[in-house]
């Protein structure tokens, strides 16, 4: 049944929240202050009509808004959107009893995301390629995406052809595309086991289409050019489908903040280093020890350093920091460190850092809740939280990136 609801606030995932007869009701695409008509089932509401729109409601930028689950906040005015994202970080810190200056959100521009993880599936009507509908496995076949680099959007028809040619399954599969400095890097995962004939045809098509690299389940089918990047002036070539920061300008801004904070130290550690987003830049000012569990990412980092120029020494260690964090004793040989873990955070590693004497720490996270938990551990170990800066790496989504800078006062002897 549908009912009028007054929206009071935005929830953590961007849904509007209203008081229902049995508790809160979450209404996607509704904004605070609005009176809406919604079809309610349990604690979920489906927006039927906006009866009294908010002054902060704006026209969405994408024709797929409301269906695609990727951008849930396109309808929120920019100033209110930035305030909401910053407040998520403020509240996460407050929940852990942390007080620190929180900067304004560093904004992300539309048409700037250089990588996309798309889902594809073969149907009787042809291959569909796009994003999942919110809270659903249904794939929304996209024709545009205002957050992506224009070169990726323009390549969507070509990506459909590549995926169609290699697809040998009726199940959904992943199509990851990254815009490198040498062109598009396309990696398919779970597309089945295509015949040799299909593989050869896909290679020929990729060469005609000008792809830099095409891979299938981690196997490189063809690499016309190295799909590289230049952190620290290096020629970094990530592994197929490897993780990269989504927006180049945000990566540069975060790296500049981390480097500026850690630059007084002569020896640094980069924990959860990935392919070297921070390590290769930090190596311009200090020796760096990079620690990462993903062997392919670590190999790419090491290769970029060895073929780089003008960098100080970079050493690499493959290690699962969740199961075997660097101990306080191991950490004490560094003058500073940065850690950038997955969304689960770095609780075990944070406890070792808290017990160490490392004077300078930069914590990077895409999850305010686990970041606040880890910062609480560090502050409990004697660190002073100097400031926290939110970055909008995932435009119009509920996700927010952050960099926190900490110092540990020297012990008096």
Asked whether residue 292 is marked as a ligand-binding residue, the answer is yes
Run of H or E including 232: none
The residue whose two tokens read 């620690």 is 291
Beta bridge partners of 365: 402
The residue whose two tokens read 């990727």 is 70
Tokens of 238: 């990530």
pTM of the prediction? Answer: 0.94
Task: Write a three-state SS string for 250-313.
Answer: HHHHHHHHHHHHHCCCCEEEEECCCCCCCHHHHCCCCEEEEEECCHHHHHHHHHHHHCCCCCCC
Asked whether residue 243 is marked as a ligand-binding residue, the answer is no
Q: What does the alpha-carbon distance between residue 87 and residue 108 come to, in Å, rounded to a whole number?
A: 17
Q: What does the alpha-carbon distance between residue 392 and residue 248 come to, in Å, rounded to a whole number?
A: 12
Name the H helices within 136-209. Answer: 150-154, 156-166, 196-209
The beta-strand segments (E) located in 32-124 are 35-41, 44-52, 115-123
Residue 103 · residue 389 · CB < 8 Å: yes
Intervals of the chain under pLDDT 50:
412-413
User: How much is the pLDDT for 2?
Assistant: 82
Angle 156-166/196-209 helices, nearest 10 degrees? 160
Asked whether residue 272 is marked as a ligand-binding residue, the answer is yes
User: How much is the pLDDT for 136?
Assistant: 82
**Burial per residue of 6-21, b for 16 or more beta-carbon CB atoms within 10 angstroms, e otherwise:** ebeebeeebbbbbebe
Residue-range domains of the chain with CATH: 2-57 (2.40.50.140), 82-109+245-407 (3.40.50.150), 115-223 (2.40.50.1070)
Q: Which are the catalytic amino acids?
A: 366
Tokens of 283: 């190596």
Judged by DSSP in three states, 216 sits in strand
Q: What does the alpha-carbon distance between residue 143 and residue 125 come to, in Å, rounded to a whole number?
A: 16
User: How much is the pLDDT for 183?
Assistant: 97
User: How much is the pLDDT for 413?
Assistant: 40
Asked whether residue 394 is marked as a ligand-binding residue, the answer is no
User: How much is the pLDDT for 335?
Assistant: 98
Q: What does the alpha-carbon distance between residue 254 and residue 105 come to, in Å, rounded to a whole number?
A: 12
User: How much is the pLDDT for 412?
Assistant: 46
User: How much is the pLDDT for 69?
Assistant: 80
């Amino acid at each position: 049944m549908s009912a009028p609801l007054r929206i009071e606030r935005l929830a953590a995932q961007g849904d509007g929240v209203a008081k229902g007869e049995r508790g809160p009701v979450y209404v996607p695409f509704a904004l605070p202050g609005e009176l809406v008509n919604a079809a309610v089932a349990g604690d979920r509401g489906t927006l039927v009509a906006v009866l009294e729109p908010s002054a902060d409601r704006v026209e969405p930028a994408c024709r797929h808004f409301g269906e695609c689950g990727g951008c849930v906040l396109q309808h929120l005015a920019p100033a209110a959107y930035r305030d909401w994202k910053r407040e998520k970080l403020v509240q996460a810190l407050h929940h852990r009893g942390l007080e620190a200056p929180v900067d304004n959100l560093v904004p992300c521009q539309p048409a700037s995301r250089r990588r996309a993880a798309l889902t594809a599936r073969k149907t009787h009507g042809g291959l569909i390629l796009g994003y999942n509908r919110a809270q659903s496995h249904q794939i929304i076949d996209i024709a545009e995406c205002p957050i992506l680099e224009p070169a990726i959007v323009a390549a969507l028809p070509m990506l459909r052809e590549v995926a169609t040619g290699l697809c040998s399954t009726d199940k959904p599969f992943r199509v990851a595309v990254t815009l490198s400095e040498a062109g598009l890097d396309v990696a398919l995962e779970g597309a089945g086991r295509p015949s040799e004939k299909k593989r050869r045809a896909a290679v020929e098509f990729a060469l005609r289409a000008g792809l830099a690299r095409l891979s299938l389940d981690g196997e490189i089918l063809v690499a016309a050019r190295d799909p590289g990047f230049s952190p620290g002036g290096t020629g970094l070539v990530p592994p197929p489908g490897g993780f990269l920061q989504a927006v180049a300008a945000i990566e540069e801004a975060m790296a500049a903040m981390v480097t500026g904070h850690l630059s007084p130290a002569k020896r640094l550690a980069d924990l959860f280093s990935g392919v070297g987003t921070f390590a290769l830049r930090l190596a311009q000012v200090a020796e760096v020890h990079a620690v990462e569990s993903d062997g392919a990412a670590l190999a790419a980092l090491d290769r970029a350093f060895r073929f780089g120029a003008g960098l100080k020494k970079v050493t690499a260690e493959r290690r699962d920091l969740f199961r075997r964090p660097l101990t306080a004793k191991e950490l004490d040989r560094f003058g500073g460190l940065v850690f950038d873990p997955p969304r689960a955070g770095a609780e075990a590693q944070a406890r070792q850092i808290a017990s160490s004497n490392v004077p300078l720490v930069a914590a990077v996270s895409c999850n305010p809740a686990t970041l606040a938990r880890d910062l609480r551990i560090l502050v409990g170990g004697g660190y002073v939280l100097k400031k926290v800066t939110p970055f909008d790496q995932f435009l119009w989504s509920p996700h927010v990136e952050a960099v926190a800078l900490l110092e540990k006062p020297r012990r008096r002897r």
